[in-house]
Amino acid sequence: MKPNWKHWVEYVVLRIVAALLGPLGIRRAGAIGARIALLGYWPLRIRRGVVTRHINACFPERSETERRALVRQAYEHLGRVGMESILLSRLGPDSMHALFERVDGWEAIERARALGHGTVLVAGHLGNWELSGAYLSTLGLPVAAVAKRQLNPLADAFVNRTRRRLGMTVVYDDEAVRRLPRLLKEGYGLGLISDQAGLGAATFVPFFGRPARTPRGPAVFALRFDAPLIFVCAARQPSGRYVLHLEEVEVTRTGDLEADVDVTTARFTAVLERWVRRYPGQYLWAHRRWKRQPPDTPPELREP
């Protein structure tokens, strides 16, 4: 797509933000991003109703005060993630290590490598998903990040230049079927964000008790290429640094591919839900996760 004047304006603003806030360091800039994002909570109230309904529906056992606090945390966290993602362009691979306290579950990667081929890395919009793949690549695991093309081609090129400089291979989603099998055979970790289903292949599985349309890609690749499936999450800690959580997800292999894909998709979605419950203020609640549901969904399980 040829960029238009709006794309250039957005891109110039993006570069100005990176230039002005870069000298502050990624953590201080992230704190500024959190304050800016709170304007979306109040007074602008951008998607505040969506975020509030989702959190109220998923955590009915919490008090109203606790749920309001989670709503604010969700806005602050998104602002931090956005600012950190912009400033990744100013980091080298070595700088990534200062952002993390530790890795939990690295043995899952070692077991996968011992099998002699690649892995399927599945994540949700929890914690800082951009940092997850970048950090894994600095730890020596080649990562192929599956990305959607952004509407702004200049911003798209900016983000993907950063990903490549930090060691990742970028594969657009419309190229995935053709390129990912070869990369998997070459030992790559395939990075897939799998809690937002567009027009691609998807199935309905429970997420916080409600049927949610979920991409089938991670399960399909794991089953067809006999690859381990590993859940990945970079979660922010009270220190401001991150812990990279890795957890192997059981892949069901009965020989019935369609049924196995559905079961495995439900399983990694259940793992995601468990981690969202652990870090509820770090999930992207503004996305309408239950927008598309089966027509026979009972009223009490429909989109909040």
Residue pLDDT, tens place only, 233-250 = 999 999 999 999 999 999
Query: Cβ(29)–Cβ(73) under 8 Å?
Result: no
For the residues of 62-81, what is the DSSP string, one character each? S-HHHHHHHHHHHHHHHHHH
Res. 210: pLDDT tops 80: yes
Phi-psi region of 209 (alpha: psi -120 to 50; beta: other; left: phi over 0): left
Q: How far apart are CA 173 and CA 221, in angstroms?
A: 14
Dihedral angle of Cα 240, 162, 137, 100, to the nearest 10 degrees: -10
Pairing of strands 143-147, 169-172: parallel
Q: How far apart are CA 193 and CA 73, in angstroms?
A: 22
Q: Rounded to the nearest 5°, which phi and psi values hold at 283?
A: -105, 155
Most confident among 20-24, 163-167, 208-212 (mean pLDDT): 208-212
In the structure, what pLDDT confidence band is assigned to residue 199 with cuts at 50, 70 and 90? Answer: low
Q: What percent of the chain has pLDDT over 70?
A: 100
pLDDT of 15:
93
Q: What is the pLDDT of residues 76-135, one digit of tens each?
A: 999 999 999 888 888 777 788 889 999 999 999 999 989 888 999 999 999 999 899 999
Give 206's strand partners. Answer: 211
Q: How far apart are CA 291 and CA 232, in angstroms?
A: 25
Looking at residues 253-274, what average pLDDT do you find? 96
Predicted TM-score of the model (pTM): 0.94
- Across the chain, mean pLDDT equals 93
Q: What is the pLDDT of residues 126-159, one digit of tens each?
A: 999 989 999 999 999 999 999 989 999 999 999 9
